[in-house]
Structure 1
Amino acid sequence: MTPRQTPMTAPMEPPAHGLRPGTARAAMSYPKFRLVFIGLALSQIGTWMQNVTLPAYIQDRTGRPALVGVAIAVQLGPLLLFSIPAGALADKVSKQRLMLAMQSASAVLTLGTAYLVATEANVWWIFAVQAGIGTANALNAPAFQASMPLLVHRSDLPGAISLNSAMINGTRVMGPVGAAVLGAAGLSIAGIFVINSISYVAFIVALVLVSMPDVKADTLVRGWRQLGVGLQIARGRLVLSRLLVGMFSFSAISLIYVGLFPSVAELNFGIAADSSAYRWLYATWGLGAFFGAISVGTFLSRFHRRVLIVRGLTGYAVALAVFSQLRDDVSPFAVGFVLGFCYFMTATAITTSLQLNLRDGERASVMPLWFMVFGGTVPIGNLIGGVLFEIVGPRTVLGVGAAWALFLAWWLDLRRQPPSAFLSEADGGETPPDLVPRRA
């Protein structure tokens, strides 16, 4: 059985902004989107201050890459476990209230992390609290991704997704830089976590001020069977299943270094995980990811996303192969920038293609699968990768990831798929690459 759609909000009127549809500038012309975007960006700066600091803290305190992998697993693992139930929950309750509750819970649990670090508690207590934060994030994510795209007209969705990805990676730069500056000024690691807790207020305020659209799907199934609606939709539309399977394997095999970044820095480049050099290296990689994400909605917007996916995966494979073999503490900055650029240019193009092949009422059911394969799979790779780092070393593990990315550049070439594999243009789907007008 397939889901019926019952929109709870009227379709948004065609945009009158006078800008080229689908660009980042067009998306920012919507006041509600702009306010939520700014609030989330301020919150994300604090989040990335903690995300770069906590793994480095675990690496410095324990000297065990495997435990760094555990730290990432407990934070991202709930995405794998709870994303589908969270999507079903988001279709039953107010998405806005659910997001407010989860953001508030995350703020309180982050304060708990600060206390545990300040008192040098057992790291397993820290892992337990991080699992709570990860669970709140898993319950929040489907509701947010089902609501945020509705703040702009569907024709401007590519620009909104590009901006959102760029914001995540821009804050990925500002967070580590802010942590490095505050650390140099004498602020403790626990103090950095307190600032992260306070930063949640910015997004909470934006959610209070903006009335988020709430489109629900009226499905023909009930109870526990409703959890499988997203899988039914993905199986019935080849482009969705291909993108989801491809991202699952990419996250598990080719993104291992993301969570284990401090271990790679120490073992391959001789850069201490607790040093400012490490934070600058991470920020440089994040800066590349920022430009890669924003490029999809700006200077690369003239290229179809199916083209960008292939080129991005190819460039990523080459950059990761080089990055894995570096042995000095200077060249990783330049290569890391290119690696970050290719990574999030590809991820943004894939996310955009996925979203544009979904009807509005399908997002709450299918996007949980995206969180599972993109974020939820990373902890599996990190757990296995952390052990393999200690057995065979990072260079071999990352080399395998580079080879797999090169294979995916061929396997995820959607230009070879028939029109029936995609959502039709009449339903809001993408224009095929051969019909996209060429721009100077």
Structure 2
Amino acid sequence: MTTTPTATTPETPLPHSHTPGTARAALAYPKFRILFFGMALSSIGTWMQNFTLPAYIDGRTGSASLVGLLIFVQLGPLLFLSIPSGILADRFDRTRLVIGMQSVMMVMSVVLAVLVARDAALWTIFAAQLSIGVANTINAPAFSASIPMLVDRRDLSGAISLNSAMINGTRIAGPALAALLAALGMSLSQLFLVNAATYLFLIVPLALKVRLPMPTGSLPERGWRKLGAGFRIVRERAVLLRTISTMFLFSLLCLPYVGLFPSVARLNFGLDPEGGEYKMLYIVWGLGAFFGALAVGTWLARRDTRRLIPLGLLTFAAALGTFALLDSWVLALPIAGALGFTYFMTATALASVMQNNLADPERGSTMPLWFMAFGGTVPIGNLIFGPVMDAVGARWVLAFGAVCAVGLAWWGDLKRLDEDDFLAADEGGEPFRPVNANRLF
């Protein structure tokens, strides 16, 4: 039987001399490295658009509710279409599927550029954003279920950390590049055209050089029963149920500020969402998120990732509560950095624990539930808390999220689980290390 790169025994030597599970180890795999840098360059354009479009809507309407609706049409498909998309990822050639969806997003970014240039009716802009959201939802399970198979399972934590750091690094680079291009005279619609071109950084390598792997095994479910396969796996493995439910509640109750960031800056600090002060605040927050994600695969790589989750949630609660109380954007800058760091350190730790407790054939059916919990739930929170923010202000929404994070620190603490609740090491899981309940490290 043919094996995948992750189907190894503990005695199998690694193809590099780096510390297993680190970012440097993950980059030692050529195919992973090519796709990582291609995706990074493509994501810079994506974050240019994700940063400027909500600010455009907030500046045009002055409504946090409409900004929340924009985020919903972009990310809402993750909530409703992730499971069918996971089935597609297991049934069709993943390389062709990803190329197709990347191409759709490229074309719709061009359409969005035309609509914004004409100050078209809001519903047309929202429809174009919805199309991008649907294509991204179909793309996500196929791409994300394949990436872990490009590295040895012992290096999976480093790959996940790098991927999270890339998301947040481009979250910084995208707005910074947008500001630079705007200073050089480029219009908002032209920025969207630049974003459309950046999709080629991923499309071209996939078309010419790297094919996404398919799992060698299969799940017992057939036909439409595969829709419930992920739920069965999560229900039967307590660690998956705990990590996904923690991420779901974290996204719903604590992270609405992410999509509503332009409105938070306007209401709490009096900042223009299209001004330089707002961009600086956002970039500092993004820098914090970048280093928080990278930390899991670098200086925290030797720590038991499972123990980072309650620590991350508690420190996030402290940062979000402090951010809610401040009314000076200058004083808020270091807190914004801490808020970003704790947010993505926690999210990356949760993702790492989940990936390390999945066998390769389970990823296509189970990862959609992660996308639903992480990305798909955020727009629901935006829809709920956008009107609340309009009615009572941003501070109460942020303070509520901080209180919820304290409760989640208890729920997401995996030290209460037994060894049998984790994927066994001989099935590819990370070795179980008993936790001293009196300390986090």
Q: Aligned equivalents of 1:139 and 1:29: distance in 2?
A: 29
Q: Secondary structure at the match of 1:298?
A: coil
Aligned partner of 2:196 in structure 1 is: 197
Q: Deviations over 1:374-426 (max 9, x none)?
A: 00000000011110001111100110100111111111110111111111111
Aligned partner of 1:233 in structure 2 is: 233
Aligned partner of 1:46 in structure 2 is: 45
Show the 5 A alignment for 1:36-435.
Answer: 36-208=35-207, 209-215=209-215, 217-434=217-434
Post-superposition offset of 1:433: 3.2
Post-superposition offset of 1:135: 0.3
Q: Aligned equivalents of 1:349 and 1:171: distance in 2?
A: 20
Q: Secondary structure at the match of 1:433?
A: coil
CA contact (8 A) 1:176 1:280 kept: no
CA contact (8 A) 2:64 2:260 kept: yes
Amino acid at match of 1:114: A
Amino acid at match of 2:25: A
Bigger drift between 243-252 and 10-19 goes to: 10-19
Post-superposition offset of 1:9: 4.6
Among all aligned residue pairs of Structure 1 and Structure 2, give the percentage whose two residues are the same amino acid.
53
Q: Aligned equivalents of 1:218 and 1:7: distance in 2?
A: 14
Gaps of 5+ in 2: none
Cα gap change, 1:420/1:70 in structure 2, threshold over 3 Å: closer, same or farther? Answer: same
Cα gap change, 1:435/1:241 in structure 2, threshold over 3 Å: closer, same or farther? Answer: closer
CA contact (8 A) 1:14 1:153 kept: no
Q: Secondary structure at the match of 1:301?
A: coil
CA contact (8 A) 1:8 1:214 kept: no
Q: Aligned equivalents of 1:380 and 1:173: distance in 2?
A: 25
Is it true that 1:15 corresponds to 2:7 in the alignment?
no
Amino acid at match of 1:34: R
Amino acid at match of 2:347: A
Amino acid at match of 1:251: S
CA contact (8 A) 1:24 1:162 kept: yes
Cα gap change, 1:219/1:427 in structure 2, threshold over 3 Å: closer, same or farther? Answer: closer
CA contact (8 A) 1:8 1:215 kept: no
CA contact (8 A) 1:7 1:217 kept: no
Aligned partner of 1:25 in structure 2 is: 24
Q: Deviations over 1:286-327 (max 9, x none)?
A: 100000000001011121111111111111000000011110
Q: Deviations over 1:325-368 (max 9, x none)?
A: 11012012110000000000000000000000000110001000
Q: Aligned equivalents of 2:382 and 2:216: distance in 1?
A: 35
Aligned partner of 1:3 in structure 2 is: none
Cα gap change, 1:416/1:28 in structure 2, threshold over 3 Å: closer, same or farther? Answer: same
Post-superposition offset of 1:435: 8.5
Q: Deviations over 1:103-138 (max 9, x none)?
A: 000000000000000011011110001000000000
Q: Aligned equivalents of 2:126 and 2:321: distance in 1?
A: 32
Bigger drift between 291-300 and 6-15 goes to: 6-15
Post-superposition offset of 1:216: 5.4
Q: Aligned equivalents of 1:283 and 1:8: distance in 2?
A: 43
Gaps of 5+ in 1: 1-5
Cα gap change, 1:160/1:69 in structure 2, threshold over 3 Å: closer, same or farther? Answer: same
Post-superposition offset of 1:218: 2.5
Amino acid at match of 1:397: V
Q: Secondary structure at the match of 1:218?
A: coil
Bigger drift between 270-279 and 61-70 goes to: 270-279
Cα gap change, 1:7/1:88 in structure 2, threshold over 3 Å: closer, same or farther? Answer: farther
CA contact (8 A) 1:272 1:278 kept: yes
Bigger drift between 181-190 and 394-403 goes to: 181-190
Q: Aligned equivalents of 2:360 and 2:220: distance in 1?
A: 17
Post-superposition offset of 1:276: 1.9
CA contact (8 A) 1:83 1:142 kept: yes
Post-superposition offset of 1:211: 2.1
Amino acid at match of 2:114: Y
Amino acid at match of 2:45: G
Post-superposition offset of 1:205: 1.3
Q: Aligned equivalents of 2:18 and 2:57: distance in 1?
A: 47
Post-superposition offset of 1:222: 2.3
Q: Deviations over 1:156-201 (max 9, x none)?
A: 0000000000011000010111111111221111011010000000
Q: Aligned equivalents of 1:430 and 1:240: distance in 2?
A: 14
| TM-score between the two structures when normalised by the length of structure 2 | 0.95
Q: Aligned equivalents of 2:345 and 2:54: distance in 1?
A: 25
* Aligned length, in residue pairs: 432
Cα gap change, 1:35/1:361 in structure 2, threshold over 3 Å: closer, same or farther? Answer: same
Q: Aligned equivalents of 1:299 and 1:345: distance in 2?
A: 12
Q: Secondary structure at the match of 2:91?
A: coil
Q: Secondary structure at the match of 2:149?
A: helix
Q: Aligned equivalents of 1:434 and 1:229: distance in 2?
A: 30
Q: Aligned equivalents of 1:62 and 1:415: distance in 2?
A: 47
Q: Aligned equivalents of 1:55 and 1:390: distance in 2?
A: 16
Q: Secondary structure at the match of 1:330?
A: helix
Q: Aligned equivalents of 1:108 and 1:116: distance in 2?
A: 13
| TM-score between the two structures when normalised by the length of structure 1 | 0.96
Cα gap change, 1:7/1:422 in structure 2, threshold over 3 Å: closer, same or farther? Answer: farther
Q: Aligned equivalents of 1:43 and 1:65: distance in 2?
A: 28
